[in-house]
Amino acid sequence: MKRSLVGVAAFCLVAASVFAQPPRMDGDWDVKVSMDMGGKTMEMANRQCVTKEQAADPANAVPTGPQAQNGCKVVNHKVTGQTVTFSMTCDGPAPLKTDGEFVYKGDTYTGTLTSVSGGRTMVMKMLGKRLGDCTKAPAKK
């Protein structure tokens, strides 16, 4: 189960940037993540380039990577002002439910993802900061 939640954490890092697109600006973003997995805390950082096209395209709110192939789907995706909320469910041997909320303020955002699988809960808190324009092209899909 622990390994399953760590895999979820990696997915959530990618998914959070995808699901939270509408109010976010394009550019080079630094994202700090703190995960609490039943009393064990892990911290990491991620840097990503978001193009103007990616930030403006509502299709980016739908998962198209491995998570979609693993029976994950986004439900209740809402954008209200500068706040983005969503839920995600994943079928499979270890079903998973994640609720997320992101709040944008100019060139920063905060986010919380709460995932439950097999009776265990993982909470991820994120802090994103726009560093400026992208310095290199993002990877192609």
Which 3 state secondary structure label does DSSP give 2? Answer: helix
Q: How confident is the model at residue 129, as a pLDDT?
A: 94
Query: In the beta sheet, which residues pair with residue 48?
Result: 29
> In the structure encoding, which two tokens stand for residue 56, read together?
């403006």
Task: Give the integer Cα–Cα distance in Å for 82 and 127.
Answer: 15
Domain extent listing, the chain: 2-132
pTM of the model as a whole: 0.73
Q: What is the DSSP string of 58-85?
A: GGGGS--SHHHHTTEEEEEEEEETTEEE
Amino acid, res. 135: T
Per-residue pLDDT of the chain (141 residues), as tens digits, is: 444 444 554 445 445 444 444 566 888 989 899 999 888 899 999 888 888 887 776 545 444 445 555 678 888 888 888 888 888 888 877 888 989 898 888 889 898 999 898 889 999 999 999 999 998 655 555
Backbone angles phi, psi at 136, to 5 degrees: -145, 155
Strand pairing category for 120-132 and 96-105:
unpaired
- Each residue of 22-45: pLDDT tens digit? 566 888 989 899 999 888 899 999
